[in-house]
Chain A
Amino acid sequence: QQPVQSPQAVILREGEDAVINCSSSKALYSVHWYRQKHGEAPVFLMILLKGGEQKGHDKISASFNEKKQQSSLYLTASQLSYSGTYFCGTVNTGNQFYFGTGTSLTVIP
């Protein structure tokens, strides 16, 4: 049931872009994205509700392909503050919520 994220880890220089993918084996109703910094609670970034929907939040955006049961998070012109572990969270048609396997993102000067 747990969605699989890729890559597991990525290191970027400030200003570079990154894409994080989330794939589920179950039909999805929606996808959440959260960022967790070391020792802190996960912080909500965005929810995608419809197949094909795309949303943006500052320079972080995401897409959701309902048919492929996949979502991608796009980080453009990365900043040091973007460092952390990113988790997708999928909601299936049974209203069950599962966190993904996580992607560690490190932005260096």
Chain B
Amino acid sequence: DAGVTQSPTHLIKTRGQQVTLRCSPKSGHDTVSWYQQALGQGPQFIFQYYEEEERQRGNFPDRFSGHQFPNYSSELNVNALLLGDSALYLCASSSADSSVRRSPLHFGNGTRLTVT
């Protein structure tokens, strides 16, 4: 049973460029959430996708956008990269039938993005 997978594992980009990160949820899960974790900080919620729509969004600018595909996989896009976007980006999957109130989030190993 495959867990949450993310790609790529590492990425180096230059300021002003655009980046796309990918996530495949755990088998049986239909909801994907994205988090940004700066070094030494806790994960910060970016947004959540369910049924191919953004359901919830954290306090992130419009440069951060996403998409969910019919197979429940998801992409995170960041435009006009800033140095401050350097972070570990985590994807977490869950099942809408098993609310986050009662069920754990399952995380991928993340994508380490470095912006130079």
Q: Which A residues have a C-beta under 8 Å from some C-beta of B?
A: 2, 29-30, 32, 40-44, 47, 49, 87, 89, 91, 95-102
Contacts and interface: CB of A to CB of B under 8 A. Distances in A.
- Decide if the interface of chain B is mainly helix, strand, loop or mixed: loop
19 contacts: A2-B42, A30-B101, A30-B102, A41-B4, A41-B107, A41-B109, A42-B43, A42-B90, A42-B105, A47-B102, A47-B104, A49-B101, A87-B42, A89-B105, A91-B100, A91-B101, A96-B45, A97-B33, A99-B35
- Decide if the interface of chain A is mainly helix, strand, loop or mixed: strand
B106 A44 contact: yes
Contacts of A91: 100-101
A43 to B, nearest CB: 8
B45 A32 contact: no
A44 B104 contact: yes
Interface residues of B, number: 22
B79 interface: no
A29 B103 CA distance: 12
A98 B45 contact: yes
B106 A96 contact: no
A2 B100 CA distance: 16
Contacts, number: 51
A41 B100 contact: no
Nearest to A92: B101
A98 B48 CA distance: 12
B71 interface: no
Given A29-B101, A91-B100, A102 B110 contact: no
A79 B43 CA distance: 25
A91 B33 CA distance: 14
A41 B90 contact: yes
Nearest to A43: B107
B24 to A, nearest CB: 14
A98 B92 CA distance: 13
A42 B92 CA distance: 10
Given A89-B105, A97-B45, 7 more contacts: A30-B102, A41-B107, A41-B108, A44-B104, A47-B104, A95-B100, A97-B105
